[in-house]
Structure 1
Amino acid sequence: MSVRDLIPWGRNNGNQVPSLLRDNDRDPFLSLHREVNRLFDDVFRGFGSGLPSLSGASSFGGGWPSVEISDNEKEIKVTAEVPGLEEKDIEVLLNDGVLTLKGEKRSETENKDRQFSERYYGWFERRIPLGIEVKDDQVDARFKNGVLTVTLPKTEKAQSQVKRIAIKS
């Protein structure tokens, strides 16, 4: 067997033009169908918020909930937007310098007059590496109007490790 036998095109005839298309890809309607499906997938991938996921992972997409992280000399503040959830639906964990936000959303809508019922379940988990030491016993988490705010006070050692670097031109 030669190396030429391993090439998927041109095995039978050495003068054959290489074709990377499979036989079923030559159908123009099948190509159009695949292209339209790809366009719809690209459009709906951008929404990522409330559309159910068929992958079995988080129904909210990889970036849910949206978080805002602010860092000053004394503390780190993490704010997460979790509309539609209640305090009991959210869990906040701090382990080995990683803040974890976990939760589950359950929603059921039923309209017996129109014979309509819809159920929506989904879970999320966001892990945020802090990269510095925090005072574990003084971490504060508050939830109000669909916004979770976690305040993580820095240790004195972490506060003193911040060094200002001069910018040279």
Structure 2
Amino acid sequence: MTLPVRHRHGSMLERPFPAFGWGEPITAEFDELFERMNRLLQGAAAPAALAWSPAADMRETDDAYVVEAEVPGIKRDDIDIEMSERELRITGEYKEQEREGVLRRSTRRTGRFEYRALLPTDVRSEEVSATLHDGVLTVTVPKAQATKPRHIEITES
């Protein structure tokens, strides 16, 4: 995680302001808050918190929900899809490649990932299908009852 850099060059923020009754530099409170946030974030780094979520779109058609998740470079065998009642769960792992030399910079995500979606209606979980093409995983979840719009005629009473 990238954190902001604090510069200490004798700026106005680091000088005491006796006119306002501040005996310490203003940044002292920010330093304390910064340290507390660091401790909080370091304590939250449990194994489950290390999973990342791929970018995904979910759209609804008349008879199904379609989820398209971006998983470039991930093999089909490294992805697992589970459907339980109305929850879709896509998990997997992007394995880091073996490299020679020293890695100087990396912005690519690696490790475990997880995507979850709670669907608003009942679905036919036994008919869920998935395809992986050009780094995009497409999961189609059919609705239990394809509800199509129906015109209601208004009658006079």
Per the normalisation by structure 1, the TM-score is 0.56
The answer as to 2:61 corresponding to 1:55 is: no
Q: Secondary structure at the match of 1:108?
A: coil
| Same amino acid, percent of matched pairs | 26
Counterpart of 2:79 (choices 80, 86, 90) is: 90
Counterpart of 1:159 (choices 121, 139, 147) is: 147
Aligned partners of 1:92 and 1:100 also within 8 Å: yes
Higher relative contact order (CA 8 A, sep 6+): 2
Change (3 A) 1:28 1:132: closer
Matching residue of 2:117: 128
Change (3 A) 1:137 1:106: same
Change (3 A) 1:78 1:132: same
The answer as to 2:103 corresponding to 1:111 is: no
Counterpart of 2:137 (choices 138, 148, 152) is: 148
- Measure how far apart 1:134 and its partner are: 1.5
- Give, in whole Å, the separation in 2 of the partners of 1:29 and 1:136: 55
Q: Secondary structure at the match of 2:96?
A: strand
The amino acid that maps onto 1:159 is T
Q: Which runs of 4+ in 1 moved over 6 A?
A: none
The answer as to 2:59 corresponding to 1:67 is: no
**Would you tell me which structure has more strand in proportion to its own residues?**
1
Structure 1: segments with no counterpart, 5+ residues: 1-18, 42-53, 165-169
- Give, in whole Å, the separation in 1 of the partners of 2:59 and 2:26: 53
Structure 2: segments with no counterpart, 5+ residues: 1-20, 39-43, 152-157
Instruction: Output one character per residue of 1:103-145: Cα deviation in whole Å (capped at 9) or x when no partner.
Output: 1111134224xxx258974212121001211222221111111
Q: CA RMSD in A?
A: 3.6
